[in-house]
Amino acid sequence: MTATRYDRRMYAVMNDRRAAAMYATAGRRRLIVGAHAALTAVGVTALFGTVFGSAPTALVVAVAALLPWVLLTGMLNGSTRGLLELRGRMLDERQLVERDRVRALAHRITLWLLVAAAFGTGAYSVMTDAPLRAEMTPVLVGVLVAHWMMPLWVASLRVQDEPGDVDDEFGDPSAA
């Protein structure tokens, strides 16, 4: 198959290196993944507060978290050069293998999150002798969101630093 105009545009966006300094090192990528995970949790929690609660400020929190979340998502996608966002025809064989590895590892992680959620909610039910109707929705949505985001987080954490990237947060150590 040949690349469409959309494919070429997405490839150009995902491989735009103008912001590469933001995620050039493993430490920076870990920081971005951590911030992204935290903003994801804040956004999902705020949306739950909006839908199931009566907190009017929850919607404001969700909207306020959205812009930085989108920017961090873009950085993570840029750090992986679009590994998970580009169509398979735009990736080489090495990238296709890496995408499969990332997805397999992310799904193993979310499997264990599901196991922990099942045991946790079961233990809660046994200890409190309470029905789980209200408690299950946030747990299931939380695990669903983790399942959705986990491949991006795993891919970003697995990216190798490119040759010539800054190894140290304070600049080139040989310049001293």
| pTM, two decimal places | 0.83
pLDDT in tens, 60-77: 999 999 999 999 999 999
Closest CA to 106 of 37, 21, 48: 37
Q: Virtual CA dihedral for 73, 77, 78, 84, nearest 10 degrees?
A: -170
Task: State the sign of the Cα–Cα–Cα–Cα dihedral 46, 51, 52, 53.
Answer: positive
Tokens encoding 19: 């912001």
pLDDT per residue over 109-122, tens digit each?
999 999 998 888 88
Q: Give the span between the Cα atoms of 137 and 140, in whole angstroms.
A: 5
Q: Where are the domains of the chain?
A: 9-81+92-161
The token pair at 173 is 């150590």
pLDDT digits (tens, 9 = 90+) for 124-135: 878 887 777 667
